[in-house]
Chains A and B, each alone.
Chain A
């Protein structure tokens, strides 16, 4: 399943809820303000980094750039993808859950 999360973990529990319910081997794509969940050195980094062994986490690159976040600011293991990558993730996963 592809999960998308569009909320910052500093603002909302959406990312936490998503990660608590996502199954092993899911794809989790952070979009819009959700990309703040990909930041290293934040109060949320350790619990986000912990799940990287179980799920694949991506951040939408246009949303990172829009917010002045360079790829070197991301938690190692989180991949930046373009909208083409978003479309691809939506294709390879049979199901999609957009956490709002």
Chain B
């Protein structure tokens, strides 16, 4: 298949109000089997997808937030969260789910998957990608 391409999945929708977040996550998880270089970015309302303590019971909708914890097992361990988007929404990194992955090159040390980056860093990251999909 040649050299792995760099895929970035940009998430800009909040969870629940639309299906873009959950169906976007399905693309990421299934795409992980293709051994490409995958990362995710959360911008704007997309940062809400990673909010802790989501409980959909009273809405009758399925709670998909636990599925984000599987990303580390699928080697999707770079989740870039835009700092400005968090700040605009009155959130800090502590409000987000503590998502981690195990680094087999470092004695399976558990490391955080979420990286809060500012807009300039995110712009640089986007520019590095081969394929960018928005959800």
Contact = CB atoms under 8 A, between A and B. Distances in A.
Interface stretch (A16-24, A58-66, A68-76, A83-91): A16-24
Contacts of A20: 119, 123
Contacts of A51: none
Contacts of A17: 12, 43-44
B134 A98 contact: yes
Interface string B94-135: 000000000000000000000000010011001101111010
A23 B71 CA distance: 29
Contacts of A1: 126-127
Nearest to B125: A21
Specify the main secondary structure of chain B where it touches its partner: mixed
A74 B82 CA distance: 32
A95 B130 CA distance: 6
Specify the main secondary structure of chain A where it touches its partner: mixed
Given A13-B44, A100-B134, A95 B119 contact: no
A21 B119 contact: yes
Contacts of B132: 95-98
Contacts of B123: 20-23
A99 B134 contact: yes
Contacts of B130: 95
A36 B125 CA distance: 29
21 contacts: A1-B127, A13-B44, A14-B12, A17-B12, A17-B43, A17-B44, A20-B123, A21-B43, A21-B119, A21-B122, A23-B123, A95-B130, A95-B131, A95-B132, A96-B132, A97-B10, A97-B126, A97-B132, A97-B134, A98-B134, A100-B12
